Structure 1
């Protein structure tokens, strides 16, 4: 490294001074009188490279915070660096524009040089020269070592050399010794090389091992393939063994089915249709049984009837009362419904009043009708129309009855007078239970015919069709236990089949 310029901006006694050094000169002599600043310039070079000391003695003109020095250095490879140094605790090495460039920027130029070595070997002042001479006088041995120690500031080189020579002798010497480290390591090396030769793998043996490995690998693949085939066979045999009882049950069922003879092909929904038909038959039988029970009860009731002559004498009043009882019963039966409807309407009115913020239903009626009220009115209008239609039908029936009555009056006049209806009323009263039973019988026959129609329609949907329902009804129906057993069996078979798949 070579110093080209030294800029003493504000340092020691200098302000704005620059010293330039020729790049081709091997020696520069700086001449000056006493107190001219030669020592300050030498200290400036040291502070330029290694930083201005914290307790510097060169701030007697300029304040310590304003100290500035700079310079330009060039390395052997031609690289150059222009930089400045300021007083401070960090980022003291700056560029031309006072920007921090980091201490490592000087590392390629200074290398491993430290401040102490530089001051003792290169930046020598009068005190350093005096201390070096004293160290040379104190040193023993070669003069070169003493000079180097005096120049670099390194002390005790002779002692260090003796220590290094002794350590080298303990490591190696021309005469072999078991205690020297070199011969210990050499002996271990020879033993290791011998062990390597004994344990090394020969090429022929390595080739033979590879051939055996390849042969065993092929044999292993063959065994694996054979094992896979055997495993598949074992799985198939285990599966056959596991389902053998199931297959036997299926064979037994097939034999029993063969014993029943050829059966027609049935559609998929045959069982469902048959179950519906059987349910309809059961319902018809139950309805028929109820009708028969009602008939027997009516016969018993008719047999238990006792004729009261006094009551019989007032048969007309009884018949009128009975006819009125029907209307009374109807009215009494409809009264709760009508009352419930009235309560419901009243509740709706109250709810409407609450929703509208009115005190009661009277206020609702007095107020403008809402959509809910209009809907209710529409409903009541529809009900009124229905009732009007019913009244009209009743009036038509009344006119028909009046016409029939007029015809009967004419027949009575033609026959010469009125006929006492008392005997007919008595006869009618005796026949009334039987007539009611006949009405029930007609209703039952109607139900039976409807069930027969349903049965025929269900039978027509069966495949194959059932021509004779009576024959089908005579066939014995399997018990619930039998059906449940077969259902469980079919479910188990389906689970087995699903598992095998």
Structure 2
């Protein structure tokens, strides 16, 4: 018997589906499909189709129990049978037309096989294999007993099975137990699921947190603005505080001067000059006394010296050691100073970490530093922001210009009187518009004429001696066609290279011009303070203070300049802090302009080389023509 066709009319998840098993050379069919495709359903359908459906089927999740129906076409020798099977009690077998068939209609095809034999021999699945293996070990079935008796010498398999059963019971059982591995893992899974659910953030909570962050950012920006204003006020008050003591002293001295009688007017720097002279005199007397004592001591030491020539031979080493001694003379103070600077820097780092919410220790701060990718992303975002700001500024300027042009045109249009223009005049005006720019047309035609004459003269000049009479030309020896083709191809290649180089030069000039314009517009639109400007301002401030400190410039005349330079340095420093983004954009623009200028020089060099090669080729061609 063989099954030619299986009809899943209403069975399981299938409705009016057909599975054909056509004849083939080996007549062996594989049914392959993914999980839940219906392979097990087809196996069960074949068993129930041949031996009947149970009273309660588990395959009624789509169709009702009473509506389940199967069909098949069976073949045996030269007989065949087409029938349907349903769950009807009186006539479960019927033809495809609905006519009842006798209960033994399948006997010629099934023979003596029953459902148990058929399922044991032809309907094996995972559950049946497990059950068969258990029967072999238990020897509970006929087949199991035969196999067990034929396998003499394996009596220990029972103990092995018991140990495996015990181990399986320790892993899992139907009754829940806290010491079984499955339920322990299930508890861990439930705990992990609960933790995951507790850690998940709802959309509403995230939106509320995001809104809170945005509000905090807005408040932070407002506080930063207030902080900047207070910082500027503090800087002003700090400068007033530094000047106030000097102003008080000046007022006291002015009051004392007013209480004095009429005195001789001295120069404004007389006191400073006197003090300076007294200081120098005291220093000179002290130095003279010290030098005299030192001279006497040295003379006494020289008188008592005995020359050690061996020691003199080590003069260079001694001088090197002396230099080392001088360099290391203050090493303890230098180490203490450096330790203080390190401690100060660590405190500054701790303060910055506290503001950022990072750990205040050095190791924690190092671990909290963003990676190079984050820094690169921030730099890229800063550059993109600068470009977008510059583009927005240009767009606003362009919009303002266009609006101004539109307003001017509207005014002109409003001033034009509204009169009816005849249609003939309109036609004549459109026809005359083609000739309104005759001068440019004449210039264009004149340029075309000159270009044609120039091309003609160049062509005649290129011919050289080939412009002679025909009789002389016939008597001349012509170069071969292959050589002329090669020379023409070579010159065409040189012309292409020159043209390409000229195009690249033009493109590079245009790009460089655009970049230079962007740089100029950026410099005009932004007040960018660079580190060099700040260093120069601080240098001027330090120079003014050094001049006052050394006495080169009097305090009265140098104080104003020092105050101005100090104020300028502080203002530039404040502006530099506020223009970090613009400074970065300016540096990028300058680098891009420099790179584009280098590219322009390189393209110009290539153009010069190409033109030189073309001139050299033309010279060789002229020499060939003249030969």
Same fold per superposition (TM over 0.5): no
Q: Which has the higher contact order (CA 8 A, sep 6+)?
A: 1
Q: Taking structure 2 as the reference length, what is the TM-score of the superposition?
A: 0.23
User: Computing the radius of gyration over CA atoms, which structure comes out larger, 1 or 2?
Assistant: 1
